[in-house]
Amino acid sequence: MLENRLVKEENMLIAAGVLTWALVAWVGINQAALHTWQGMLNATLYGLYLVQFILIATDKVAHNNILFRRLATLAMPLIVLSLLLTANHALLPILFVIWASLLPEFFNRRQAISQLLLANLVYYALLQWHLHEQSNVFNILIYLGFQFFAYSSNQARLSERKSRLIQEQLNQQLIATRALLSQASEQQERLRISRDLHDILGHQLTALSLQLEVLSHKAPEELKPQVNQSKSLAKELLESIRAVVRAQRVQVGLDLVPPLEALMTRLPSVTLTCKTMKPLQSAELTQALLLVLQEGISNAVRHGKANQLQLSMEDSQSVLVLQLSDNGVGLTRVAARNASAKSGTGLNGTGQFGTGLGGMQERLQPFNGKVQLRANDSAPGCQLTLTLPALA
């Protein structure tokens, strides 16, 4: 599964960052005894740097609060500069390299490069004028090159991850749409066969009934009961064929469950339970709902870490309501308030609110539909509600 592969890659990068930090911290902490104020201060700063790195590199804490993670990112070079004043050593700039690898996720190229240049300039200034060290500019440029390399590598990784997620989403849409088209083709074929039966057999049975009607007037008295019985049978058979055709025309509709089940085959560790689902008469509406639900399921799994989802439909004379609930991590208070206030926002790839719900709203706009995302009242997770006029 793509999500599992991406998680493994991110865990490997986090482990590499923690290991690098541990080696640098070991050298720095050993410069002063821990029972002294300088040793305690050094250990505190190194520990604070590690906490900041873990909070930023993982989405276990405050994954919906992009502002918090940006501020934590900006605090990391300040910690390194503080360590320069208390525990300066030759390996300290390596912490800038770790920090540089985090910048692509929260800042654009210009902002990230500006921060890198500013941090290294301040580092050089502190060495030159505050610590009165004749620092080697060449060494600083080497570390700056490592920082740009870490930044560029992670930026390329994030771009590749985005492309792979988009490709996976397109594959899911293709699978679901193919299942929907297969269902529509089967129903169209059944409708065609029923129409052919009506046109061919109906015409022949009508002609047979007319022939039997004429024959009933010309047949001898002893044969009239058999002729009338044959005429009745022909009429009953004709009415039965017409009833079958009418039933096929009335029952023609597209069911969302089969394409959604096909979609779930791409998510083997996730279960979807469908309740009170009914066929929809509009192929365009069914297609739009399918794409919206596919995006809702992807967001619940990717951002909400959900593994159980429930889909229900309520169809009345005036409104059609679909509710997709999950058991994920839910929404923060700020995120929930934003989702209620802005129907055009949703979760994007960085875990903040972006254009997800906006795209859903656009898909349902031709049907006067509305999209709402809110936290579950009495259970963890979220609930995506789609409301439309009764078109099905």
- Confidence bin at 251 (pLDDT 50/70/90): low
The confidence score (pLDDT) of residue 204 equals 78
Alpha-carbon distance of 299 to 310, in angstroms, equals: 14
The alpha-carbon radius of gyration of the chain (Å, integer) is: 34
Average pLDDT of span 198-226: 78
Q: Which residues contact 227 (CB under 8 A, 6 or more apart)?
A: 212, 215, 216, 219
Considering the entire predicted model, what is its pTM? 0.59
User: Which residues are paired to 353 by β-bridges?
Assistant: 347
Residue 330, pLDDT > 60, answer: yes
Please give the DSSP secondary-structure letter assigned to residue 253: -
Which tokens go with 373? 């995302």
The confidence score (pLDDT) of residue 6 equals 60
The H-or-E segment that residue 388 falls in is strand 382-389
- Phi, psi of 315, deg, nearest 5: -120, 110
Q: Tell me how crowded residue 259 is: count the other CB atoms within 10 A of its CB.
A: 25
Average pLDDT, the chain: 79
Q: What is the pLDDT of residues 343-357, one digit of tens each?
A: 433 333 333 334 478
Q: What is the pLDDT of residues 265-310, one digit of tens each?
A: 877 788 888 888 887 777 788 888 888 888 888 888 877 788 888 8
Average pLDDT of span 95-120: 91
The confidence score (pLDDT) of residue 367 equals 87
Q: What is the pLDDT of residues 163-178, one digit of tens each?
A: 877 777 777 777 777 7
The confidence score (pLDDT) of residue 205 equals 76
Q: Tell me how crowded residue 196 is: count the other CB atoms within 10 A of its CB.
A: 12
Alpha-carbon distance of 318 to 150, in angstroms, equals: 57
Q: How many CA atoms lie within 13 A of 247 on its CB side?
A: 6
The confidence score (pLDDT) of residue 249 equals 61
Residue 147, pLDDT > 80, answer: yes
Alpha-carbon distance of 92 to 110, in angstroms, equals: 25
Residue 317, pLDDT > 90, answer: no
